[in-house]
Amino acid sequence: MAMLIPRLAGGLQRSSFAAQACQLRKSAGQLSIQGAVVRRVGGSSYPLRLGALMKFLLLIGGSREAWARLSPSDWSDSRATHGALIASLRQTGEFIECNELNIAPQGARVVRVANGAVSAIDGPLNESGNFASGYYLIDCVDIDRACAIASQLYEGRFAPIEVRQIGG
């Protein structure tokens, strides 16, 4: 499990704050951390988290039929659920980004290459009529935590949420 250490003074830059944290700890007479990842966690207080975190993509599925069945109340609930989840993930430091994906044919293409010939067709739809409608990119301790986060997505009530680790 990751452990929290107090906020370090001096506005650390994301690209170098692991090195700076180790340097500050050495200058304070503490041992440096070998092989740990140091990250900012939540809000403006920026405590640092030590431990290896993994990035996951939560790919939100959907279909035109499923989205068409949503009432105005459902849309409102969806927005509220996403807002609360994003706030919670920001607080824990697990949120990286999320967004909707354009599902209009002019906003998506499927590209294939066969025998050196490139073809591109309009639209995100596959043969089943399902498509990816949005995503969350998160940073958490393991796939079980990523699945727990995915289970909180509103769309999980009517569409699959695919959880994929990024990298290896």
Same domain, 45 and 58: no
Same domain, 22 and 99: no
Which tens digit of pLDDT belongs to each residue from 147-160?
Answer: 999 999 999 999 99
Q: Pick the residue with more confidence: 28 or 92?
A: 92
Same domain, 119 and 85: yes
Structural domains counted in the chain? 2
Cβ count near 101 (within 10 Å): 15
Same domain, 101 and 125: yes
140-148 long-range Cβ contacts below 8 angstroms, 24+ apart: 140/53, 140/54, 140/56, 140/94, 141/1, 141/2, 141/51, 141/52, 141/53, 141/54, 142/54, 143/54, 143/56, 145/94, 146/54, 146/56, 146/58
**Does residue 6 register a pLDDT over 80?**
no
Same domain, 116 and 76: yes
Same domain, 58 and 132: yes
Same domain, 17 and 60: no
**Does residue 74 register a pLDDT over 70?**
yes
- Find the range with the poorest average confidence among 26-35, 84-93, 112-121: 26-35
Asked if residues 118 and 111 have their Cβ atoms less than 8 Å apart, the reply is: yes
Which tens digit of pLDDT belongs to each residue from 31-53?
Answer: 333 333 444 444 433 344 445 68
Rounded Cα–Cα distance for residues 77 and 59 (Å): 20
> Which residue in 141, 57, 147, 35 sits closest to 101, CA to CA?
57
Rounded Cα–Cα distance for residues 59 and 15 (Å): 27
pLDDT score at 122:
78
Same domain, 112 and 33: no
26-35 long-range Cβ contacts below 8 angstroms, 24+ apart: none
Average pLDDT over residues 48-69: 81
Q: Of 35, 50, 65, which residue is a domain's last? A: 50
Q: What angle do CA 68, 98, 77 make, to 5 degrees?
A: 45
Same domain, 116 and 159: yes
For residue 25, what are the domain limits? 3-50
Same domain, 35 and 78: no
Same domain, 37 and 100: no
